[in-house]
A = this chain, B = another copy of it.
Amino acid sequence: KATKDFIIFIRDFNSFVIRTNTCGELRSAHVGQEVTLYGWIQYQRQGLFLVLRDFQGLTQIILPQDEAHSHVKKLLSNAPVESVVRVTGIVSSRPPGQENPKMPTGDIEVKAETAEILNSCKKLPFEIKDFIKKSEALRMQYRYLDLRSFQLQYNLRLRSHIVMRMREYLCNLHGFVDVETPTLFKRTPGGAKEFLVPSREAGKFYSLPQSPQQFKQLLMVGGLDRYFQVARCYRDEGSRPDRQPEFTQIDIEMSFVDQAGIQRLIEGLLQYCWPEERGPIVTPFPSMTYKEALADYGTDKPDTRFGMKIVDISDFLRRLDIQFVQNALSYPHGTVKAICIPQGVKCLRQQCITTDAVCDATFMKHSFPGWCLSDFPDSKIAPSHYLPSLLQCSALGNLRLESADLLEAAGLVLRDPTAFHFLWVVDFPLFLPKEENPTELESAHHPFTAPHPSDTSLLYSDPTKARSQHYDLVLNGSEVGGGSIRIHSAEQQRFVLEKVLKEDSEVLSHLLEALEFGAPPHGGIALGLDRLISLIVDAPSIRDVIAFPKSFRGRDLMGNAPDYVTPEELEPYHIQVSWPLAERGKEKL
């Protein structure tokens, strides 16, 4: 199933090496040929045969039983599993009845004539076949063994293939230029999640950027017209599950483009690179405003593979005499919303719906202590008052997702595991109140986002109401991309930085200056490659589509990074470690 795609595009796996074939390609048509294979011993049986494995598949090798070849038999019989061997022999049909239709090479076997042990494998710390069941920490420590598994080989090869197709589409079909931008740069305003890199100038640090945002905009000012990069990005968030300190995005920027142009580009890109075995995807992708997404799904990244939308049942409830509901409805803009869960009564009545889903919304806890796990058939109700807020909506959105998980745990099929639902979410607000101080504003995404064409005057009169030209791409309820049309007027950019965000624009003076020297209108997008690939291959974690991922604490468990360094090594960088008191003892010489 996995190999089909590759055979179409890849000509020759055996160029420049001495093997004649890979372990996955021999068929009946090869019978009678002498072949030389290289691979790992997958398993062997009683000096009779063994199975040789490489990246492309398995081939059954028959050990010679005659006296003249006794040394070959001995050599191969004694080689431990996972040893690397060369086998030369003749391709033969398997005896009638012994074909294995489940194996692509199941019609043939190779009768070994000569062999060589290239590397004997010492006893493994575990059985390879049990490996998958072992803890992820062990698999990470022996990542090079884990990489031999079918699944990881498939994931990494599909990733490589998809990226190659993206490049063909962008470079060869649409004239994009692949430009590498620096990763040693300087802190951006609010760049609290940027790793620092000490330089040899005392007190001065580089910073590893979270994205090439500034550079891609400067490339547009430089007239590059169409830029893309498979860009390594960095984000220091401490420990967070399923995040990586370094990650990859497909980074794109275009001049003279509008929001629809970027959207059509990305739809074409995904259609072009989409693996055939995952079925076709339909374009254009549906689109939804931020407001609709929050109202109907309680999140800005709705999983549209299933219904159970949030509905407003205020009008229905207004007719009933339930005190706490009437109370809620009596507030200005008071509403009660519900989710209708098909077979909810049957499947969920006995279930323990954790109240966290609703209660962790701070707003609800503080502003409306009463909430209700309803007894109405097929519904869960969370009452509300005041304007529909993000917090309140997200409580219902979480409830919706949690209910879906519970329904599926109970055996219902709610989300087709082979379905891919792409969705554009658009018309985001340009600014949001700061969490720690709601009277101040911060950018909903980043300060370079242009206002919605209809809301340009609102930017100056009432920025809280201005929508942006930001767009998110959502796949099956995960955000897989985001971008915007950028501000290309220096005056507007300065207004946003200084008057709305009250930030010191000095640190961005190079960008502001660039906008004054003939910056074209431009916009772009970045796709999160790790997340996208993990959804395509249905992997539980992005770690499964990265060759050498870090643990959720940001550690490399194989090579043991990060690690201590000596004070002498720090000297050229004019830094020293400030040891927390409790850890003084750990200090190394």
A-side interface residues toward B, CB under 8 Å? 6, 9-13, 15-19, 38, 40, 53-55, 82-84, 118-122, 124, 142-148, 152-153, 156-157, 160-161, 163-164, 167, 171-175, 177-187, 192, 195-208, 214-215, 218-219, 221-226, 232, 234, 236, 238, 245-246, 248, 254-258, 261-262, 264-265, 488-489, 510, 514-521, 546-548, 550, 554, 556, 558-565, 569-571, 573-580, 583, 586-588
Q: A203 with B583: in contact, given A198-B196, A224-B153 (CB under 8 Å)? A: yes
Q: A579 with B202: in contact, given A182-B550, A518-B40 (CB under 8 Å)? A: yes
A574 to B183 CA separation, bound complex (whole angstroms): 23
Q: A199 with B10: in contact, given A19-B256, A119-B521, A517-B121 (CB under 8 Å)? A: no
A182 to B178 CA separation, bound complex (whole angstroms): 21
The residue of chain B having its C-beta at the shortest distance from the C-beta of A199 within the complex is: B562
Q: How many copies does the complex hold?
A: 2
Q: A204 with B153: in contact, given A122-B517, A197-B195 (CB under 8 Å)? A: no
| Residues of chain B with a CB closer than 8 A to A202's CB | 577-580, 583, 586
Q: Which of B120, B208, B219, B232 is A197 in contact with, Cβ under 8 Å?
A: B208
Contact of B563 with A222 in the complex, beta carbons under 8 Å: no
Contact of B256 with A18 in the complex, beta carbons under 8 Å: yes
Q: Which of B175, B200, B258, B588 is A236 in contact with, Cβ under 8 Å?
A: B200
The residue of chain B having its C-beta at the shortest distance from the C-beta of A511 within the complex is: B559
Contact of A13 with B519 in the complex, beta carbons under 8 Å: no
Contact of A119 with B518 in the complex, beta carbons under 8 Å: yes
| Residues of chain B with a CB closer than 8 A to A178's CB | 160, 163-164
| Residues of chain B with a CB closer than 8 A to A122's CB | 516-517
| Residues of chain B with a CB closer than 8 A to A207's CB | 561
Contact of A588 with B119 in the complex, beta carbons under 8 Å: no
Q: A529 to chain B: closest CB distance in Å? A: 9
Q: Which of B204, B223, B489 is A148 in contact with, Cβ under 8 Å?
A: B223
| Residues of chain B with a CB closer than 8 A to A559's CB | 185-186, 214, 510
| Residues of chain B with a CB closer than 8 A to A153's CB | 223-224
| Residues of chain B with a CB closer than 8 A to A152's CB | 222
Q: Which of B175, B185, B246 is A182 in contact with, Cβ under 8 Å?
A: B246
Contact of B174 with A562 in the complex, beta carbons under 8 Å: no
A13 to B573 CA separation, bound complex (whole angstroms): 46
Contact of A17 with B254 in the complex, beta carbons under 8 Å: yes
- Give me 14 other A-B pairs in contact (C-beta within 8 A), A6-B175, A186-B559 excluded: A17-B256, A38-B255, A84-B521, A119-B488, A121-B518, A124-B517, A147-B221, A183-B183, A184-B556, A186-B562, A202-B578, A202-B579, A205-B563, A206-B561
